[in-house]
Structure 1
Amino acid sequence: SLYHDLKEFIKTNLGFGEFIFRDVKGNELARARTLYHLEKTLEKIPEESILYHVEKNQFSSWLMAHSEPRIAKRIKNILAEEYGSTEEIRQYLLTTIRDVSQQQNRGKVIKFTPTIFTEEDKIIQLADGSMGGKGRGLAFLNTLLFTMDFGKEFDNVNVKLPKTAIIGTNEFDSFIETNKVISSKFIKNSDKEINKFFLNGKLTKNLIAKLKTLIQNVKVPLAIRSSGLLEDSQSQPFAGIYKTFMLPNNDPDDGIRLKQLCDAVKMVLASPFLESARKYIESINYKIEEEKMAVIIQEIVGSKDAENLFYPHFAGAAQSYNFYPPKDMSHEDGIVALAAGLGKAVVDGERAFRYCPKYPRVNLLEPVGIVENNQRDFYAVDLSLDEEQGVNNEDKFLTKRRIRTSHKEGVFKEITSVWDYERFQFLDGNFVRGPRMLTYRNIIYYNKFPLSDILLRILEIGEIASGVPVEIEFAINLDGDQTSNLPTFYLLQIRPLSVNKENINIKLDKIKREEMLLSTTRAMGNGEIKSIKDIVFIDPEKFDNTQTLEIMNEIEKINNYLEANDREYVLLGPGRWGTSDRFLGVPVRWAQINKAKIIVEASQENFTVEASQGSHFFHNLVAMNVGYFTVSHLLDSDFIDWEWLKSLPAKYSGKYAVHVELEKPIHIQIDGKKGIAVISKATK
């Protein structure tokens, strides 16, 4: 019929439909449906077929009809006589397709194709659906790096994302439906039972096939991260609530590595249903049924050392807003926390080096303080562990190692200085001898790597684009990567910071000292609270930083009682709350103190610890508008009336922790702009 003939003419002569490879006699040899299939077929099709289609200009016509005009224009009107052989024409066609495709895909989130894992500057989507909060942040960063062309802005430095793939939330929906997960019934199980159920569940065959291709192409350690819909949102940003798994990905058996990867993906999908995550979601007035999980698969930044450990030279977190600026700096000057090795030391609130990116030559601590607070341990992926044992917890393949002199003289030498203990000063230079400390002076003082400039630029653009202050996580490889020998700055993620700027004016001169329970000039949060009657504190005279696990258990017991009665409280104690280093403070998780509305860290004469900006625990306090105070015994303006607290009748008294219940509520005032807070003993 005329209709059929017209349809065939359009498909055959105008390039619509499949590309049909033919020999000189017109016999069909192969078909290609997509650009990827065209490329793969070109690699192996006989030379006579290539010559046949080039002479008829059919490659260009087909590509133009399939929305590939840039490639089509470059290969249009190829003259065979200008090439030495048909094989040269084949290579020109393949090179053109690959070069233009890579250029067009830079800075984008693109659909999976089997060859895509060899390409840079793009995010690969392995399953449809939302990318989640963290995924959206990565997509923004990827576009930012491409459009701003950071390579031209910073000489002799690479600025990039690690190779990244995202599993959209449709896979989560499929998993929940296929494996019959009913939230209301399911969450009654223990965490162990939930994890076991998810590990026994089935991912879609389509995703498994893509993960198999990923494993075959990627041979470096991998981070499997959560990216929930609620995670890193502007209205209620939070971090560290869900699971992240680090995999060595170095077993010679692809099957073992694939199983490890699938298990880690399942464990991340399970993480919203675990008790600590559920409690957090409920505390921000959401239901577990509203959360969906995307999964991010990201190459871990770093290199292998002589002990078969994998880690970057250093990593960190930077915030465009400093909640505790020194007196000569402003909130908007920002703050950076750095740690040698993987960034877990920073986000878990352990020892880290802090400085202001706007004033990198200004030390936030005296030299002696830098020595006393110097990082002692670093985190790495242990490549020597047996991968066949399975993924049973997120720290399975992580190891924490002491930073030895050999590290400071070797892999970390560029970020150290020699401590002159006679003159109480730091000395720099490769040939200076003496004990070394992590100071990052080569980086931030002498600008051998433009870290501060890069951070300020990204934080500035991120804050403008988000409309709120932001935090980024990053890692640095000073030796470069597989593609170049240039030192490389890797962006790992970006999230909004919740900053409440409501105007609260505290008139300290109108409040008598004897009326105050507490006063501090280092307060985070904002607002006024007149409803709290419960105070939980650790007696500073009984505090022992070697017994913080026992203290944690006592605090959890009190919190459970107050949670059952739906009562918020003020939590006070020496050292740092929420750190994973139990010698710096009490290593509580959020679920163990989720009814605390005010958290106070008090320093003592023999126990002084920096505030934990940059940690996930700290970030979540900010997001939930929990008051977070640091009270220094060194400042006349700061104090806690411990004697008054200890004189009150105890509702509960443990070996270390005490719970008191007041007849009248205390009066809490927080001025977030000035960083001042006062807790008065009774509401007026």
Structure 2
Amino acid sequence: MSDKKQGFHPFDSPLVEHGYGTRFQGFQHLMRHRIRDILLVSSLYDLYVFEEDGRLYELIREEYQGLNLSHVPEITRVSRGEDALALASEEKRFDLIITTPHIEDMDSTQLAREIRQAGLKIPVVLLAYDNRELSELLNHADSRVFDRIFIWTGNFRIVVAIVKHLEDIMNVEQDTRLVGVQSIILIEDNIRFYSAYLPLLYTEILKQSQRLILEGVNLTHKYLRMRARPKILLCTTYEEAWEYFIKYQHTILGVISDIDFKKGGKHDPEAGLKFAAEVRKRHDDIPVLLQSNNAQFQDRALEIGAHFVLKDSPTLLQELRKFTITQFGFGDFIFRTPEGVEVGRATDLISLEEQLKTVPPESIKYHAERNHFSTWLKARTEFWLAHKLRPRKVSDFPSLEDLRQHLINSLRTYRKIRQQGIITDFKKESFDVQSGFARLGGGSLGGKARGLSFVNTLITNYQITNRFNGVRIFIPPAVVLGTDVFDAFLDDNNLRHFALNCDDDREITRRFLSATKFPADIIASLVSFLELVQVPLAVRSSSLLEDSQYHPFAGVYQTYMIANNHENPLIRLNELLNAIKRVYASTFYQAAKQYIRVTSYRLEEEKMAIIIQKMVGSRHENRFYPTFSGVAKSYNFYPTPPQKPEDGIASVALGLGEWVVDGGNTLKFSPRYPNHLAQLYSVKEFLRTSQHKFYALDFNQHASDSLQPFDEAVRLFPLKQAEKDGALYYVGSTYVPDEDRIVDGLARNGARVVSFAPILKHKLFPLSQILTLLLEMGSWGMGTPVEIEFAVNMNGDNPEKLKEFGVLQMRPLVLKRELEQINVEDYTQDQIICHSPCILGHGIIKDIYDIVYVDYHKFDRTKSQQVAEEISKINALLINENRPYLLIGVGRWGSLDPWLGIPVNWEQISGAKAIVETSFKDFMVEPSQGSHFFQNLTSFLVGYFTVNPFKNRGFIDWDWLKKQPVNKHFQFTYHIRLKRPIKILMNGRKNQGIITKPGV
């Protein structure tokens, strides 16, 4: 049978001949079916991620402007499924519905089902956020109600890819018939992989299309040429892919395929090989890339003439990009006269304003009469200004010069309004040193900067900056280096492959610090920034995945602080560049690699943005620090009456926030009950658990050649130093030993303690009210409980000398909501290893065969650092074996003070699926609620049990543990490997949890 009879040959069509014969007439009819209106069903925060982080609207605007089209897809957001159904039914204008799992009134599958039942023929796409949530959904047939499911990994291009994917499916048949548009067949049934592939492929295709437009014969045709870009046909089964291939085989540009996917309704471990062989048999010039986790398929792939790449390769995406480049191969505002003569050109709002000052009045009249200004502005997502200008007519103005001035004034006013509360491109001339928030370089802002920008928008839009008398609530001014700068630094210095494979943190630091190439335009902008800002700076990580809704990466990457006070500007620049390089290096430290390993992500997918931010605080001789810092959460996992979980919890400390996030002793209180302080019930207990030192930036510690992977400029100081500086006055009290009590203030002699009585009791600062407001606003805006980091300077350095409340971070605080009911009361004491009436988490964890525990009877508090090292070694072994385990220990996990517990970092226990902590044998210890990796425990859904034998709250069956055969042990730490699994049950609603013995 000939090829022509097997399928339609587009070059036999007179329509195709007509399109190519006249060179471009056919191109004008391409891409007829467009997604013009998108209904997004999500929380407000999800919308903000899509719009601001990757400039989604701007990307769409640039593409559509390049295609010479006048309509940019608009996104309408609702947070309720009921509202989505009503809008879609009544307005009949939506071409696509994207839903996230976070909608208010119904499950996302129910929403999709009701859309179908309503007879609405609109594609419904689910954008999910983590693989556990997704796997639960895919286990139910309900997942079929979605046209496609994607995973959000922090890459904003996934939304563009969704739109392009659906448009390609709608237009492929017509566009192929018209001019023979090429297609790429992508066969992949793993949602996470195709969610990563599609953004990359579309990016490379658009770059290639921009190179191809040089073949156009004039400007208009160059833009029309963009419409002929290759399409991507995503398939998940052999039959679906084969149908596309047979239908479009003469216009297939290439094939990218997995090897193991469904054929004939069943998983075929060699389906990709069979497909590639059939493709090569018919057309041996079609390039094929096969992927698999099994390296044994490489030889067979090469035998049939296909390329091959391992899916677990650390450079998978790079190899895919290289394959597409080697094997497979926007627009200005133009001022014209009525006769069509070009008299000016604008690329952005600033240049538009400049051109309006000089172009002839007849050109302004020509474009104004045809609404060209509002159309162009709408294509650039400047909807507010476009709608403001559109109703005005030329006849409304006394003269054309009045019209010109009106347009110039509107643009100037709008640009000023637009900069409030958002990230702008950095310009020295317009950057506000008191409140500016700007970007340098392209790419994403990263999660931390995205969260800050979102809070900045809320603070501005709801006008809370000066809500409290004498206080300024603000985001400290900053510039953000986009992730493209990170990519350029790695590639220009040939560091990527080295960093991905090196396991020595010091060597990584050395290589990064010695790298000499840094983008010249970024250096020039940093010089300008340093000319404006000559105060201490915090150089902070803001990776793509940081502060995401399910894996926040809290504390995984580094922050470095610099004094920024040297008289030589070149030395200041060098210190800043070294701090940036150190943060970049921390992306590849072992702590980050181990963290990534237990997530669904790949280190290769991670990219680092940098926040360079003015520090909040005051200088005291050679020290710089805020009066106090803290962390506040809108949900409290350990409420004590009358507090409720939703009342939230805050931890505050004198000085820099490292003391709080690193698990040091802090003062904890609920913002709604600031005088209800459990720590103050016992003077002895408070003295033992209160803060005795504080962190500050030491100006004497300048950047050096040290290869230590932490900030050496931040040092600990005693409380007497803060008293000398005057900072302790705002947060201090005095212990009077003769009376064995703590009195407010510092007037009397005695030991100083950090009680925050002047703030919480005597209302020297409205801390509780501010936190309550921000937590409520953040939870509403993000659609989930939140956590914020903040710093307060009681001696503000702003022009008004207001007290300063600086918001340093806001991120989602994950609360897993399980549907299953768990009854821990159904088990007897002899059936369980552990019972706790104070737990974190909800659900059932099964298939745990390994237990690591610290011997309760042998533990020596003077050897706690040794115990941490023992646990770290066992943790590394179990992670390499992919064996999750139960961890049991004494004292506070992650304690900054080794006398209060075991000072582990997150990477030292990252393989644990459940963690138990109990008091020491000789005295009681409060649970480690404020530790730095607490956020990670909740995000990874790690069960967390607290046992307090002194208060008869729960128990651990130590005798049973001691009787089990030991697989490996050190002096204090034991590893048990069981023949049958244990089961971990947690009822978060009742705050009860048990761990059953094997076989129960």
TM-score interval (norm. to shorter): 0.7 to 0.9
- CA-to-partner distance for each residue in 1:210-243, whole Å, 9 max, x for gaps? 1111222211111111111111111322311111
Match in the other structure for 1:69: 410
SS at match of 1:153: coil
Deviates more, 1:470-479 or 1:219-228: 219-228
Match of 2:445?
131
The equivalent residue for 1:469 is 785
Q: Tell me, yes or no, if the aligned pair for 2:856 and 2:921 is still in contact at 8 Å.
A: no
Distance 1:9 1:198 in 2: 45
SS at match of 2:567: coil
Offset at residue 311 of structure 1 (A): 0.6
**What's 1:261 paired with?**
576
Q: CA separation in 2, counterparts of 1:149 and 1:677? A: 44
What residue number does 1:305 align with?
Answer: 620
Q: In terms of mean alpha carbon deviation, does 433-442 or 483-492 score higher? A: 433-442
Match of 1:448 among 735, 760, 764: 764
Residues 506-540 of structure 1 deviation map (CA, whole Å, 9 limit, x = unaligned): 54443222222111111111111231121111112
Matched, 1:173 2:487: yes
* More RCO (CA 8 Å, sep 6+): 1
CA 1:71/1:566 → structure 2, altered by over 3 Å: closer, same or farther?
closer
Alignment partner of 1:284 is 2:596: no
How far apart in 1 are the matches of 2:867 and 2:861? Answer: 9
Contact 2:620/2:725, CA 8 A, preserved across alignment: no
Mapping for residues 572-587 of structure 1, pairs under 5 Å: 572-587=888-903
TM-aligned CA deviation for residue 379 of structure 1: 0.5
Change in 2 beyond 3 A, CA 1:433/1:357:
same
What are the Cα deviations for residues 43-95 of structure 1, in whole angstroms up to 9, with x where unaligned? xxxxxxxxxxxxxx999987755x542758xxxxxxxxxxxxxxxxxxxxxxx
String of CA shifts for 1:326-357, please: whole Å, max 9, x gaps.
Answer: 24322111000001100101101111110111
Partner of 2:524 in structure 1? 209
- Secondary structure (helix, strand or coil) at the match of 1:662 reads strand
Tell me the CA shift for residue 120 of structure 1. Answer: 2.7
Deviation string, structure 1 residues 15-66 (Cα, Å, up to 9, x no partner): 753868xxxxxxxxxxxxxxxxxxxxxxxxxxxxxxxxxxxx999987755x
Instruction: Check whether the contact 1:106–1:120 (CA below 8 A) recurs between aligned residues.
Output: no
CA distance in 2, matches of 1:430, 1:651: 56
Which of 228, 242, 246 aligns to 2:543? It is 228
* Structure-1 residue corresponding to 2:355: 17
Instruction: Tell me if 1:479 matches 2:817.
Output: no
Aligned to 1:371: 687
Determine helix, strand or coil for the equivalent of 2:513: helix
How far residue 388 of structure 1 moved from its aligned partner, in angstroms, is: 5.0
CA gap 1:127/1:612 in 2 versus in 1, 3 angstroms: farther
Q: TM-score, normalised by structure 2?
A: 0.59
Matched, 1:273 2:588: yes
Q: Name the structure 1 match of 2:509.
A: 195
Counterpart residue number, 2:643: 329
- Aligned 8 A contact 1:336 1:355 in 2: yes
Deviations 1:168-210 (A, max 9, x none): 1111222233233444884245222322232233220010111
Aligned residue for 2:311? none
Instruction: Tell me the CA shift for residue 439 of structure 1.
Output: 0.9
SS at match of 1:245: strand
**Any unmatched runs of 5+ in structure 2?**
1-335, 347-351, 359-398
Distance 1:405 1:198, change over 3 A: closer
- Normalized against structure 1, the TM-score is what? 0.84
Given that 1:504 and 1:670 are in contact with CA atoms closer than 8 Å, whether structure 2 keeps it comes out as no
The CA deviation at 1:597 is 0.9
Change in 2 beyond 3 A, CA 1:121/1:189: same
Q: Is the 8 A contact 1:15 1:63 kept in 2?
A: no
Asked whether the equivalents of residues 602 and 632 of structure 1 are also in contact (C-alpha less than 8 Å), the reply is yes
- Measured against aligned partners, the alpha-carbon deviations of 1:357-409 in whole angstroms (never above 9, x if no partner) come to 11111112214222221101111100112445567533221111222286289
Task: Quote the offset at 1:320 in angstroms.
Answer: 0.2
Structure 2 CA distance for aligned equivalents of residues 435 and 424 of structure 1? 11
Deviation at 1:563, TM superposition (A): 2.0
Counterpart CA distance in 2 for 1:386 and 1:662 is 52
> Who wins on radius of gyration, i.e. which is larger?
2
Name the % identity.
38
Give yes or no for contact 2:586–2:709 (8 Å, CA) kept in 1. no
Q: 2:881 aligns with which of 565, 578, 588?
A: 565
Partners of 1:545 and 1:582 within 8 A in 2:
yes
Deviation at 1:121?
A: 2.6
413-422 vs 161-170, greater mean Cα deviation: 413-422
Confirm whether residue 141 of structure 1 aligns to residue 482 of structure 2.
Answer: no
Structure 1 pair 60–642 and aligned structure 2 pair: CA distance change class (3 A): farther
Q: Could you say what secondary structure the match of 2:878 adopts?
A: helix
- Equivalence for 1:624: 940
- Distance in 1, matches of 2:739 and 2:401, equals 74
Contact kept in structure 2, 1:264 and 1:391, CA below 8 Å: no
Out of 402, 409, 412, the residue aligned to residue 718 of structure 2 is: 402
Contact map agreement 2:824 2:993 (CA 8 A) in 1: no
- What is the CA distance between 1:574 and its match in structure 2? 1.1
- Number of residues of Structure 1 aligned to a counterpart in Structure 2: 618
Map residues 528-543 of structure 1 onto 2, 5 A cutoff.
528-543=844-859
Distance 1:257 1:534, change over 3 A: same
* More helix by percentage: 2
2:580 and 2:610 in contact (8 A); partners too? yes
Distance 1:124 1:425, change over 3 A: same
Instruction: For residue 454 of structure 2, give the secondary structure of its aligned residue in structure 1.
Output: helix
Shift of 1:105: 2.3
**Cα shift at 1:160:** 0.8
Greater Cα offset, 431-440 or 345-354: 431-440
- Per the alignment, residue 232 of structure 2 pairs with none
CA distance in 2, matches of 1:411, 1:132: 34
Task: List alignment gaps of at least 5 residues for structure 1.
Answer: 21-56, 73-99
Q: Which residue among 502, 511, 522 is the counterpart of 2:818?
A: 502
Provide closer, same or farther for how the CA distance between residues 388 and 535 of structure 1 changes in structure 2, counting only shifts above 3 A.
Answer: closer
Counterpart residue identity of residue 540, structure 2:
R
The amino acid that maps onto 2:507 is E
In the alignment, the residues of structure 2 paired with residue 612 and residue 645 of structure 1 have an alpha-carbon distance, to the nearest angstrom, of 24
> Among 439, 460, 474, which residue is 1:160 paired with?
474
